[in-house]
Chains A and B, each alone.
Chain A
Amino acid sequence: MTTTLTPPELRPAASPIANSLTAGKLPQGAPWMMLGASLLVAAGVFGVVAAGNGSEFNWVGTLVVGAILYIVAIWLFSRIVEGSRRATDRFVTALVTGAFVLAMIPLVSLAITVVTFGLARFDAEFFTSSMRNVTGEGGGALHAIVGTLLMTGTAALISIPIGLMTSIYLVEYGRGRLAQGITFLVDVMTGIPSIVAGLFAYALFAIFWGPGTRTGIAGAVALTVLMIPVVVRSSEEMLKLVPNELREAAYALGVPKWLTIVKVVLPTAIAGITTGIMLAIARVIGETAPLLIAAGFTQSMNYNLFEGRMSSLPVFVYTQYANQGNPPEAYLDRAWAAALTLILIVMALNLIARLVARFFAPKLGR
């Protein structure tokens, strides 16, 4: 019996069949090249204008016109090559990126300005001396730094427990009218102008110690009024995020409600709560008006919250700027240096908040 082996059928040579899933696509670097070209065109136009009437070259105009040119160009080219869906995508991407850049401009410009002006007096003397008996050059802001830390710290000490417990009440216990009322009042308090908080604290202390009383503790109370609603709202949101399953799991193990809150709910939410508290501190540490009214200002060191006026960094900036002496540069330099110090303190607080959040965050994954 013979078997004939049929040779395997030869496949037809792979002919280039058009893949129906492909679509036109702009090359990788095209958007960047288009951006460069748009800017060049704009620069050319403004260069010609500048050369024509002898005026200065218009940088802002170049950037704005270049950006608009780019948005139009990328939309047009993408529409031709890639079709309308991708064109819309590129158009919106360009708009969103533009909005981001626009939002960054004031931020970056502010940081650069404060650093350049602030560095002039950012020296050892600034951090080791007060303004007592200083006219003109020299002097420092130690009294203001100490005042800011003391008053903000006291405000935090008062408002964190109150705020946290309020939010725990609202999330875990509050039902019906009372909870609704508290939520409403907290919302209203969030919108209180800071000067009103200052007047409240001033009036409160004037009742007991007579009008004209300005002390550190009054400033701290004013800051507390501003801080509590922020702490309540942020902690409330964080506590709401804790899944109910975890509470039920704890209840099912026979854990009482208060221990469930202390040992399950709070640890789960602690990272978010810490961030919220740090943001609340950052919000009040830069308050000027309420401290000007409630704590006043002074040129001397004052470590006592309950006796005498107390300076703070924002008020220090304000007074240095408002009451310039001779030479005015010395006063302005001190104001800028104090502003820089304040920004650095807020930055440090935010960094700490991030570290704490990372440290305490619920451990996920392997």
Chain B
Amino acid sequence: MSKRIEVRDLNVYYSKFLAVEGVSLEIEPRSVTAFIGPSGCGKSTFLRTLNRMHEVIPGARVEGEVLIDGNNLYDADVDPVLVRRQVGMVFQRPNPFPTMSIKENVLAGVKLNNKRISKSDADALVEKSLQGANLWNEVKDRLDRPGSSLSGGQQQRLCIARAIAVSPEVILMDEPCSALDPISTLAIEDLIEELKQDYTIVIVTHNMQQASRVSDRTAFFNIAGTGKPGKLIEYDDTTTIFSNPSVKATEDYVSGRFG
């Protein structure tokens, strides 16, 4: 249920501005890959090209190839909607749908696509997804309450439950813990560890400890200066990146001596 991602020589543009240049990397199935790097270096932009979410921003376009199990996302006939059903995403700020209850939020991927689902199947899917997101025990008695009634950490886990309810192959996480307290962060990190059994996970984070805790491999992005494109500097096993990086800039960044 998880897939291998292969990126070949990817350039991302916002209109004429080159935001990310020449990224090539391979992400193994059933692994956690962390993207680290200073703000504005193109980590999030690059992450969003992995499920064509960058296209939501007018003027954004891509050169190069992203292959998911050998299928190029940027072939002419590819439907971005079908891509996003395979590659789910969790955002920086928890964003449950305010008009929907907790249960409806989990079922959003099914319901919003006008798919019919029997009540027993729906209940089973809600329970499975919420348990997958470690949220079931906290909300099982109030599934009909609005999603926005939960705390920030619970809302973020609700968003993860919503993402895994459509059973994607890959889950992208864009700084999923940056708005959360340490306890909720811990809950989500444990969750990532569990989700790794079934999904390919890519996570953007500013928290170096988090990257070293949860990820198998780490990619370090950097930017030469404002207005210059972000580049992939080094991509290796997490232990190597944090203990014995081959590039000086990586070592400076992970040891806090940057800039």
Distance of A245 Cα from B146 Cα, bound (Å): 17
Q: Are B149 and A267 in contact (CB under 8 A)?
A: no
Of the candidates A175, A245, A255, A362, the one whose C-beta lies within 8 Å of that of B95 is A245
Task: Let me know if A213 is at the binding interface, CB within 8 A.
Answer: no
Distance of A366 Cα from B102 Cα, bound (Å): 12
Which A residues lie within 8 Å of B166 (CB)? 253-254
Q: Are B162 and A253 in contact (CB under 8 A)?
A: yes
Which A residues lie within 8 Å of B86 (CB)? 254
CB-contacts of B99-129 with A (<8 A):
99, 108-109, 111-114
* Stretch of B77-85, B203-211, B225-233 that contacts chain A: B77-85
Distance of A364 Cα from B97 Cα, bound (Å): 11
Q: Using A264-B97, A364-B146, A366-B145 as known contacts, say yes or no to A250 and B112 having CB atoms under 8 A apart.
A: yes
Which B residues lie within 8 Å of A132 (CB)? none
Distance of A25 Cα from B96 Cα, bound (Å): 48
Which B residues lie within 8 Å of A79 (CB)? none
Distance of A109 Cα from B259 Cα, bound (Å): 70
Task: Let me know if A329 is at the binding interface, CB within 8 A.
Answer: no
Of the candidates B53, B96, B99, B149, the one whose C-beta lies within 8 Å of that of A251 is B53
Interface majority SS on A: helix, strand, loop or mixed?
Answer: helix
Q: Are A246 and B95 in contact (CB under 8 A)?
A: yes
Distance of A264 Cα from B95 Cα, bound (Å): 12
Q: Are A253 and B108 in contact (CB under 8 A)?
A: yes
Chain B residues with a Cβ closer than 8 Å to the other chain, count: 33
Task: Let me know if B72 is at the binding interface, CB within 8 A.
Answer: no
Q: Are B109 and A253 in contact (CB under 8 A)?
A: yes
Distance of A268 Cα from B56 Cα, bound (Å): 19
Q: Using A363-B148, A365-B148 as known contacts, say yes or no to A255 and B81 having CB atoms under 8 A apart.
A: yes
* B209 to A: closest C-beta gap in Å: 27
CB-contacts of B46-102 with A (<8 A):
51, 53, 56, 58, 81-86, 88-89, 91, 93, 95-99
Distance of A12 Cα from B126 Cα, bound (Å): 67
* B238 to A: closest C-beta gap in Å: 26
Task: Let me know if B130 is at the binding interface, CB within 8 A.
Answer: no
* A186 to B: closest C-beta gap in Å: 21
* B146 to A: closest C-beta gap in Å: 4
Q: Are A245 and B91 in contact (CB under 8 A)?
A: yes
Distance of A263 Cα from B96 Cα, bound (Å): 14
* B178 to A: closest C-beta gap in Å: 14
Residue of A nearest to B166 (CB): A253
Q: Are A362 and B98 in contact (CB under 8 A)?
A: yes
Q: Are B84 and A254 in contact (CB under 8 A)?
A: yes
Q: Using A253-B88, A364-B146 as known contacts, say yes or no to A268 and B114 having CB atoms under 8 A apart.
A: no
Task: Let me know if B163 is at the binding interface, CB within 8 A.
Answer: yes
Q: Are B95 and A363 in contact (CB under 8 A)?
A: no
Task: Let me know if B219 is at the binding interface, CB within 8 A.
Answer: no
Distance of A208 Cα from B72 Cα, bound (Å): 58
Distance of A198 Cα from B18 Cα, bound (Å): 54
Task: Let me know if B159 is at the binding interface, CB within 8 A.
Answer: yes
Q: Using A252-B88, A253-B166 as known contacts, say yes or no to A366 and B97 having CB atoms under 8 A apart.
A: no
Q: Are A263 and B112 in contact (CB under 8 A)?
A: yes
Distance of A366 Cα from B147 Cα, bound (Å): 9
CB-contacts of A219-268 with B (<8 A):
243-256, 259-260, 263-264, 267-268
* B169 to A: closest C-beta gap in Å: 12
Between-chain CB contacts (< 8 Å), 12 pairs: A246-B95, A247-B56, A248-B89, A249-B91, A249-B95, A251-B56, A253-B163, A259-B112, A268-B97, A268-B98, A268-B99, A365-B149
B residues bordering A, Cβ < 8 Å? 51, 53, 56, 58, 81-86, 88-89, 91, 93, 95-99, 108-109, 111-114, 145-146, 148-149, 159, 162-163, 166
Nearest 10 A/B pairs, CB to CB: A254-B85, A362-B98, A252-B89, A363-B146, A253-B109, A245-B95, A254-B84, A255-B112, A267-B99, A366-B149
